[in-house]
Chains A and B, each alone.
Chain A
Amino acid sequence: MTPEQHRRAGELFDQLCEIAEPQRNAYLEAACASDPEVRRHVAALLAAESRAPRDFLGEPAIHVAARQLAAKSTDSSELTGAIIGNYRLGPPIGAGGMGTVHEAHDIRLNRRVAVKILPSMFAAHPDRVERFQREARAASLLNHPNIVSIYDADQSAGQYYIATEFVEGRTLRQMLHGGPLDLKDVLEIAVQIASALGAAHEAGIVHRDIKPENVMVRPDGFVKVLDFGLAKLTEPRDSDGPNLETRPGQVAGTLQYLSPEQVLGKPTGPRSDLFSLGTLLYELTTGVRPFDGPTDGAVFEAIVNRLPVQPSSLRPSLQREFEEVLLRTLEKDPELRFQTAVDLRSALRRLMRASSPAAASVPTAKPGRLLPVALALSGAVVAALAIGWWASLAARRPLLSLPVRFERLTDGPGEEIFPSLSADGKQFLYSSAVRGKWDIYLQRTGGATAVNLTAESKDDDTQPSLSPDGTRIAFRSERDGGGIFLMEATGENPTRLTREGYLPAWSPDGKRLVYSSVNFIIPSSRLAPVSRLHVLQLATGAERVLDTADAIQPNWSPHGYRIAYWGMASGGRRDIFTVGVDSGNPTAVTHDAPTDWNPVWSPDGGALYFISDRGGSMNLWRVPIDERTGRTLGEPVPVTVPADSVEYLNFSQTGSFAFAQSRQRNNLFAVHYNPARQTVTGEPESIGNSAHDVTVFSFSPDESQLVHDDVGAVTEDLWIMNRDGTAKRRLTSDPFRDRSPAWSPHGDQIAFFSDRGGGMYNVWTIRPDGSDPRQLTAVTSPVINRPVWSADGTRILVTRHQGPPAIIDLKPQGTVEPHSLPGLDAYPGAIFSPWPSHGDLLVAEWNGGSGWELLFYDVSRRVAHLPGVKGRRPEWMPDSRQVVFGRGGKCMLYDPDSRRESELFSVAPNTLYSIHPSRDARRIYFSQTIRDADLWIGHMGN
C-alpha cells in the first residue's frame, strides 16, 4: 500500500459511505477494476466502518487507561449460569472495578443469596485458603440483625466462593454520591453500625475494614454491615516473610478509613474499628473524608499526622455534642477514643434522644433524601455486595499486609534529611540546618536527643554516611574549599579525603568509598548530565572514575559486586542503573518516563529499593535484581510508606530503613502592625487550621470574612471562613480547580479562575453563599488567572500567560472577551494585585527572565514602570502610598515616591506567598510556604 493508493482508497471510501450498502459493491468493482489492492483496502475499510462498535475510540485515551488501571485485577471469567456448590449463579450485581459478586439461587434451600467468587490467584496460597475457611466459618457464627449473615464459604471446581444473605438496598458509598446525609439519618445509621460492631467485638471478631462500601442500607432503613472478620484474611502470616509490596499502580481504594495503628502496622483491635467508623460518620456528616490526599502516601500521612478539619466548619448546623463524639472517635491514640462500641452506641443514642427535635428541624441540602430515594430505587437491585473485601483479596490490602512498623525518628522544625542508619539500626545520623548552617547529628533510634557532631565547624556539613563497622563517618563538608571528609563516629578528628565530591557511600568491607562528582537537591533541579562516580581506596588514596554516563547518588551492593546509582538518561529522563565495581558494564534498571532516583540495595542484595513518582507522587518502589549481573528479575512494585513525598532512603543491615517525609504547605497567618512606627509587634498567629494549602486569599469588604483557595488539594475548592479562622465552609465543591478568589468591592460576588467548563482556565464569579456561578470569560488560550476587581467593581483585571494582562468590562450577562490593557505589551504574564483604594496606580509582579520584580501601571496614563525592586506579591497599604511585598522569607515595604524600601519582618527559612494588610493597617495577613522534612524508620518483620 502506497500513500497514493491510500489516498485513492480514501476518496472511494468517502464516496461509498454516502451511498446505500447494496449498491456499493458494484460501484467499487467498477472504480477499482485496475487496482485490486485498492479495492480490497476499501472493502476492508467499509467492513470495519460497519463492524466497529459505535464507541470505538469514542472516549479519550486517558479514560481508557484510567479504566484499565481501575480494572486491573478484574478476572474476566464469565460465570453467569454456572453452578458452584449449591448455587446457580445469576448475573454479576457488583461489577465494580475489581470483580464480580453474583446474585445467585441456593438450589438446596431455594432462596436468594449473594455469591462472591474469589480470584483464582487466591488458590495459590494454601495457608490463606485455610485461614479463609476458618475465619469465614467463625464469622458465619455471628448472628445479629445488622450483620450480613454468611451462609457458606467453600470451594467448588477450583473456585473459592462465599455465599451470604442477599441484601437489597444501597451502600453508603452510593448514598454519599448525593452529598452528606441528613444528620438524623447519620445518627440512625451510626447506632446500627455500632450495634453490629458491639456484637462482633464481643464474639472476638474485629471487622478491620469498615468503610462506606461495606455498609448497606435497605429500603426500610435497616443497616447491614458486610464482611465481618474477613479483612484480616488478607494479612500474610509471619511465615510469608517481610512483604512490602502493595498494590501495583497504587490506586488508592479505601485507605482513607484505616486507623493510625493499622497504617503504622501496629497491633489492631476493636478500637481500630471505632476509628474507621468515625471516619465513615465524618464523611456521612460533612461529605468529605477526614483524611484524604491525592496519593496513598498523602492519605497515610494525613491519618498519622493531621487533625481533621472541624466538622462543624463544614456542616455549621452540626451540634457541638455530635462534633465532640465524632472527634473522639478520630483520636489518633486508641486510649483517647471510645473504648468499646457499646460506649459509642450509648453516646450516639444520647445524641439522638437529646437532639431529635432539633435534628428534625435542621435544614439540609436535600431534606429527607435518604429513605425516600432508597425506597424509590428498591425495584432496582443495587446490591454491590462486598466488592471491597473481594478486591482486597485480589489485590492484597496495602498496609494490612505490611509486616512493617513505622516510627517517627525526628520531629524538629525545618528539614531533617540524609539519614544514615547504623548496621544494627539502633542509631542514625542525619543533616539539619536548624542551627542556621547544615550540621550532622547523631541520635538513638527511639531517643529524642540529637548530638551535633559538627558543632565546631562553621561551614556546612552534610550527607553523612556511617561506615559498615560503625566507627567512621564519611561526609560532605564545605570547610576549606569543600570536599569529602572523614571523622570518627562521635565527631572527632575530621580529616579531608578529597577536594571534590558529594554523597559518599561505603563499600561493604569499609575499605573504599564511592561518591559522585556533582551534587543535587531534587532530581528535577539537575540540568546537565555530567556527574561521574569516583571510587576511592582509603588505605592508598588511589582513585578511579567508573566508566558510566551521568551517574549520581551511588549505593554499594551488600556483597560488593555492583554500585547502584541514578542518572539523566537520553532525553532528560531520570533512570536507575547499576555498574560492576570491577567489571563495569552499566546496566539499566528502569527505563521510562517517571523520575526514578535514590536507589538503595536491600540488605540481602536481592532487590533494589528506589524512590519514584511513577505512582503519582514520590514514594518507595522495589524491584528484584540479580546483584552480580544487575539484571532485573521483575517489574518495579510500589512499597507505599506513610508519606506525602519520600526522600533520602537508607537501609540498615537488619532490614529497617529510614527515609525523610517531606511536606510543603502554604498556611495563613496574621501579625500585628503599627502603621505609625511602621513596625510589627508580637509573633505571627496561625489562622484557621493547616489542613488547607492557602495560596491566595481575599477579604470581604467589611473584613469579617475571607475566602481562600486550596491549591494542590484533591479537589481544589474555595473556602470561606471568619477572619479568625472559625466557621469555615466550602464555597465551591466540584472536581475542578478553583483558584485565586477575589472578593468584589461591593461584597456580592467572588471572582476566581477555574477550569470548570471545558478544561481551560477561565474567570468565573459566584455569590458568597455559593449560588449563581457565572462564567465571565470563554477564552481558549492556555492560561488565564488571578482576577482582580477594580475599586468600583465594574471591571476585572486578569493575567494571561499569553499576551499582556487584560481587562474585562462587566456586562449584565453573557461572557466577554477580555481586551488587552494598552501600554503593557512588553510585560506579558504580569500578575496584578488588588486595586488601590485611592487612585489608579496599579502594582503587579512581573518576571521578564531575571526574576520577579515589582511593576507599576498607571491606568489613566497607560504607562508601565519598573522601579527595579525585586520581590513578589506586592499589595498597596491602605493609604495607597506604600507597597508591602515579599522577598523570599522577608516582608518588605516600598515607597514609590521616595524609592525607599525597608524590611518589616521575616519568616525565613519559610517563604512568603501572599500578603494583605487589613484596612485599618493594624494587621498584616500573609500566607507562607513552610517546608518540613522529618525522618521515619520502617521496621520489617514483627
Chain B
Amino acid sequence: MLKAWRDGDASALDSLTPVVYAELHRLARRYMADERAGHVLQPSALVNEAFARLMHDAPVEWESRSHFFAVSARLMRQILIDFARAQSTRKRGERVEHLDAAQARNLALDGGSLDLADLVTLHEALNRLAALDARQAQVVELRFFGGLDNKEIAAVLDVSEPTVVRDWRMARAWLYDALQAGA
C-alpha cells in the first residue's frame, strides 16, 4: 500500500478521486451560490486527506517532502484531466450549434479563463513540453495542478527561485502559444 502511494499509482488515484471530486463540487457549489470565490484546499492537503482516510489515521513516512508534493501534483493532474475529459466531450457537443469551437476557445483565452476542453488541450501540450524540457513542464504541474508557490517549487525541484520564475515564464508563454495554435 505504501509503495502504491509512493508510486502514485492507480490505487492512490482510486482513493484520492472521491476526495478531489467532493472538493470540486464543494467549490462549484460556492461559485453557483455566488459566494466568495472560496477557500480551496491545497492539492497536497487533499492528498493528505485521502491518505488519512485510506489508512485510518495510520502513520506513513514519505520518502521526502518533495516527493510527497510531486506525487500530489501528479495525482491531481490525472484526476482533473479525467474529469475534464468526461465533462468536456458533452460540453463541446452542446456548443456547436451556438459558436464555432475555435472561436469559443479564443474568446475564453482572451478572457483569461480556461474551460474544460482547454484543460485537456493544456494537459496534452504539457506532455509535449515535457519532451522538450522536463523541468519546465514539472514547474507547471506543481504550480497549476499542485497549487504550490514558486518558493515551494524551488524546494521540491532543488533549484533556485529565479530558476523557477524563468521556467514558469517560458512554459507559460509556450503553453499559451500552443493553446492558441491548437484552437
- Counted as pairs of residues, one from A and one from B, with CB atoms less than 8 Å apart, the total is 259
Residue from the list B9, B61, B115 in contact with A68, Cβ < 8 A? B115
Let me know if A55 is at the binding interface, CB within 8 A.
yes
Instruction: Please state if A384 and B34 are interface contacts (CB–CB under 8 Å).
Output: yes
Which of chain B's residues 155-183 have a Cβ closer than 8 Å to chain A? Answer: 166, 169-170, 172-177, 180
- Contact of A51 with B by CB under 8 A: yes
Q: Bound state CA distance, A604 and B145, in angstroms? A: 43
B116 and A65 contacting across the interface, CB-CB below 8 Å: yes
Closest A residue by C-beta to B108: A76
Q: Is the CB of A67 within 8 A of B113?
A: yes
**A46→B173 contact, CB < 8 A:** yes
Report yes or no: A65 in contact with B83, Cβ–Cβ below 8 A. yes
- For A51, what are the chain B residues with a Cβ–Cβ distance below 8 Å? 176, 180
CA–CA, A58 and B15, complex, Å: 28
Fill in one digit per residue for B86-124: 1 if any A CB lies within 8 Å of its CB, else 0. 110111000101110000100101111111100100000
Residue A887 is within 8 A (CB to CB) of chain B in the complex: no
**Contact in complex: A735, B61 (CB < 8 Å):** no
Across the interface, do B10 and A571 meet the contact criterion of CB distance under 8 Å? yes
B57 touches A831 (CB 8 A): yes
Q: Is A75 an interface residue (CB 8 A)?
A: yes
Nearest-CB residue, chain A, relative to B111: A53
Check if A571 sits within 8 Å of B131, measured CB to CB. Answer: no
On chain B, the residues within 8 Å of A384 by CB distance are 34
A77 cross-chain contacts in B, Cβ below 8 A:
98
A72-B91, A253-B32 known; A6-B176 Cβ under 8 A: no
Q: How far is the CB of B91 from chain A (nearest CB, A)?
A: 7
Tell me the smallest distance from the CB of A226 to a CB of chain B, in Å. Answer: 15
B82 CB contacts on chain A under 8 angstroms: 592-593
Asked if A7 lies at the interface with its beta carbon under 8 angstroms from chain B, I say: yes
Bound Cα distance A572, B113 (Å): 34
Q: Which stretch (A84-92, A543-551, A776-784) binds chain B?
A: A776-784
In the assembled complex, the Cα of A796 lies from the Cα of B111 at a distance in Å of 49
Chain A residues 348-393 with CB under 8 Å of chain B are: 384, 387
Nearest chain A residue, comparing its CB with the CB of B90: A635
Closest Cβ–Cβ distance, residue A384 to chain B (whole Å) = 7
Q: Which of A10-18, A620-628, A917-925 lies at the interface?
A: A10-18
B22 near A64 (CB under 8 angstroms)? no
Given A6-B132, A57-B144, A829-B59, A70–B42 Cβ distance below 8 Å?
no
Is there an interface contact between B25 and A54, defined as CB atoms closer than 8 Å? no
Q: A14 touching B110 by the CB < 8 A rule?
A: no
A537 within 8 A of B: no
A783 touches B176 (CB 8 A): no
Q: Is the CB of A61 within 8 A of B144?
A: yes
Whole-angstrom distance between the Cβ of A63 and the nearest chain B Cβ: 6
Are A48 and B77 closer than 8 Å at their CB atoms? no
- Does residue B150 face the partner (Cβ distance < 8 Å to A)? no
Residues in A241-263 with C-beta less than 8 Å from chain B: 248-253
For A295, list chain B residues within 8 Å (CB).
22, 25
Q: Quick check: B21 and A252 within 8 Å, CB to CB?
A: no
**Residue A674 is within 8 A (CB to CB) of chain B in the complex:** no
B contact residues around A420 at 8 Å (CB): none
Q: How far is the CA of A58 from the CA of B109 in the complex (A)?
A: 12
Instruction: With both chains docked as a complex, state the minimum distance between the C-beta of A922 and any C-beta of chain B, in angstroms.
Output: 30
Contact of A69 among B48, B87, B173 (CB under 8 A): B87
Is there contact, CB below 8 Å, between A7 and B133? yes
CA distance A56 to B174 in the complex (A): 12
- Chain A residues with CB under 8 A of B136: 10
When chains A and B are docked, how far (Å) is the Cα of A184 from the Cα of B134? 62
Q: Is A52 an interface residue (CB 8 A)?
A: yes
Instruction: Convert B142-153 into 0s and 1s, putting 1 for each residue whose CB lies closer than 8 angstroms to a CB of A.
Output: 011101000010
CA distance A384 to B32 in the complex (A): 12
In the complex, which residue of chain B has the Cβ closest to the Cβ of A756?
Answer: B39
Of listed B76, B78, B79, residue having the most chain A CB within 10 A: B79
Bitwise interface map of A from 1 to 28 toward B, beta carbon under 8 Å scored 1, else 0: 1110011001001100100000000000
Q: Confirm or deny: B70 has a beta carbon within 8 angstroms of a beta carbon on chain A.
A: no
In the assembled complex, the Cα of A1 lies from the Cα of B131 at a distance in Å of 10
- Flag the segment in A132-140, A429-437, A610-618, A649-657 that touches B: A610-618
- Specify which chain B residues have a CB less than 8 angstroms from the CB of A616 in the assembled complex: 18, 21-22, 25
Q: Distance (Å) between the CB of A91 and the closest chain B CB?
A: 16
A49 at the interface (CB under 8 A from B): yes
Interface-central residue, B13, B26, B136, by most chain A CB under 10 Å: B26
Q: Which of B31, B111, B180 contacts A97 (CB 8 A)?
A: B31
Q: Are B34 and A96 in contact (CB under 8 A)?
A: yes
- Do A3 and B31 have beta carbons less than 8 Å apart? no
- How far apart are B31's CB and chain A's nearest CB, in angstroms? 4
A593-B147 in contact given A53-B112, A783-B52 (Cβ < 8 Å)? no
Q: Is the CB of B169 within 8 A of A760?
A: no
Output the least CB separation between A874 and chain B (Å): 15
Which of A1, A47, A67, A571 lies in contact with B31, CB distance below 8 A? A67
Tell whether A722 is near chain B: CB-to-CB under 8 Å.
Answer: no
A45 within 8 A of B: yes
Nearest neighbor of B17 in chain A, beta-carbon distance: A593
CB within 8 Å for A66 and B28 given contacts A48-B176, A760-B45? yes
Give 24 pairs: A residue, B residue, CB < 8 Å, sorted on A. Answer: A10-B133, A14-B166, A17-B169, A46-B173, A48-B174, A48-B176, A60-B43, A62-B40, A64-B114, A64-B116, A65-B83, A66-B28, A66-B30, A96-B32, A177-B36, A251-B28, A252-B29, A253-B29, A295-B25, A573-B14, A594-B18, A759-B44, A761-B45, A847-B58
A-B complex: 5 closest residue pairs judged by Cβ atoms: A829-B59, A759-B42, A571-B10, A53-B112, A66-B27
Which residue numbers of A lie inside 8 Å of B, CB to CB? 1-3, 6-7, 10, 13-14, 17, 44-49, 51-58, 60-72, 75-77, 96-98, 120, 173-174, 177, 213, 248-253, 294-295, 384, 387, 524, 570-574, 592-595, 613-617, 635, 714, 735-737, 755, 758-761, 780-783, 785, 801-803, 828-831, 847
